[in-house]
Amino acid sequence: MDSGEVKVKNGVVIDNPKRKTLKIWSNKTNTYYYQSRDVNYYRNFYHTTKQRVECEHCHKMVYTGNMTRHQRTKKCQEQATKEKPET
């Protein structure tokens, strides 16, 4: 498989060489969906969100993809309010 060749299961490919994605018409759902030209794009994107970082409020180790969801939890919000000085 060439680097520019992409497997398409069904539908019509609308190919614009300037874009990083292909616009593909799905006969099954009657909608367009987008597929990346880079075969390894989604695998690499997944690994960038799997890095562990420390929360700045409660100092717990959390994955980067879950940081905003973690900061909405009661435990983290309580720690954040304790850190803020009352004015």
User: Do residues 32 and 26 touch, judged by C-beta distance below 8 A?
Assistant: yes
Q: Report yes or no on 2 lying in a domain.
A: no
CA distance 52 to 62: 5
Same domain, 35 and 54: no
Query: How many domains in the chain?
Result: 2
Residue 64 is encoded by which pair of tokens?
């980067």
- The answer to whether position 35 is within a domain reads yes
Residue ranges making up the domain that contains 74 = 49-83
Record the pTM: 0.46
Q: What is the pLDDT of residues 26-76, one digit of tens each?
A: 888 888 888 888 878 877 877 777 889 999 999 999 998 889 999 999 999
